[in-house]
């Protein structure tokens, strides 16, 4: 169960975007991306969504959502050039149904918050700082448990809906680079190293 933590991540932070399948959607995305207004967009944390998934190898997955604490995106010449997102790791919410009477969602959250994983008492947030973008990829630095590594948000899709900018994408990172690991080797063997995140960011123009 503790492995579920992988899914989070976060840690967020942080950011994963769901791509549209149709050619029409792809065309609209290109137009909308090119039309992004220069300046800084503030993310609506209530309307935005960060989903996570982690797995026990060959067994089952755990998934859920985590709250976005704050966020902004900087645009120049129609391209994403910077920004920062903060994920609140103290607000992890499992949504899957892979639980038993003695292994509840509450216990999972306890494990994810423990020193073995996110150690939220000392590291309550995870951050993703954007350094630039190229095509449908956004580059940046992810910080979890005080450890920072370069990561990429892939399959980025940007659209405009009802006067708001929607940014979606996927990020997958190796949790072991952030010291998110069991202290017991046998337990560690059954946990996937990858944490998958799917993020939808909504910002007002």
Written as one string, the DSSP assignment of 172-198 is EEEGGGGT---SSHHHHHTB-SEEEEE
Identify the CATH number of the domain in which residue 118 sits: 2.40.128.110
Could you give the number of structural domains in the chain?
1
Chain segment 133-155, per-residue pLDDT in tens = 999 999 999 999 999 999 999 99
Tokens standing for 172? 């997958």
Q: How far apart are CA 55 and CA 71, in angstroms?
A: 28
Q: Are 190 and 172 in contact (CB under 8 A)?
A: no
Chain segment 92-146, per-residue pLDDT in tens = 999 988 788 888 889 889 988 999 889 999 999 999 999 999 999 999 999 999 9
Q: Provide the whole-model pTM.
A: 0.78
Give residue 186's domain range: 2-204
Chain segment 153-199, per-residue pLDDT in tens = 999 999 998 889 999 999 999 999 999 986 545 454 467 889 999 99
Tokens standing for 55? 């797995």
Q: How far apart are CA 5 and CA 11, in angstroms?
A: 10
């Amino acid at each position: 169960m503790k492995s579920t933590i992988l899914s989070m991540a976060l840690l967020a932070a942080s950011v994963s975007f769901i791509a549209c399948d149709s050619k029409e959607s792809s065309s609209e995305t290109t137009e909308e991306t090119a039309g992004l207004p220069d300046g800084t967009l503030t993310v609506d944390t209530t309307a935005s969504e960060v989903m996570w998934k982690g797995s026990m190898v060959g067994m089952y997955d755990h998934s859920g959502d985590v709250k976005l604490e704050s966020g902004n995106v900087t645009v120049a010449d129609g391209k994403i050039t910077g920004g920062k997102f903060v994920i609140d790791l103290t607000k992890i919410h499992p949504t899957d149904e892979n639980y038993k009477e003695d292994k509840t969602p509450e216990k999972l959250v306890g494990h994810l918050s423990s020193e073995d994983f996110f150690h939220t008492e000392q590291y309550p947030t995870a951050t993703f700082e954007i350094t630039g973008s190229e095509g449908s990829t956004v580059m940046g630095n992810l910080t979890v448990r005080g450890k920072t590594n370069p990561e990429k948000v892939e399959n980025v899709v940007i659209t405009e809906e009802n006067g708001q900018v929607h940014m979606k994408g996927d990020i997958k990172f190796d949790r072991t680079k952030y010291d998110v690991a069991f202290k017991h080797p046998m337990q560690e063997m059954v946990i996937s190293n990858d944490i998958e995140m799917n993020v939808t960011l909504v910002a007002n123009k």
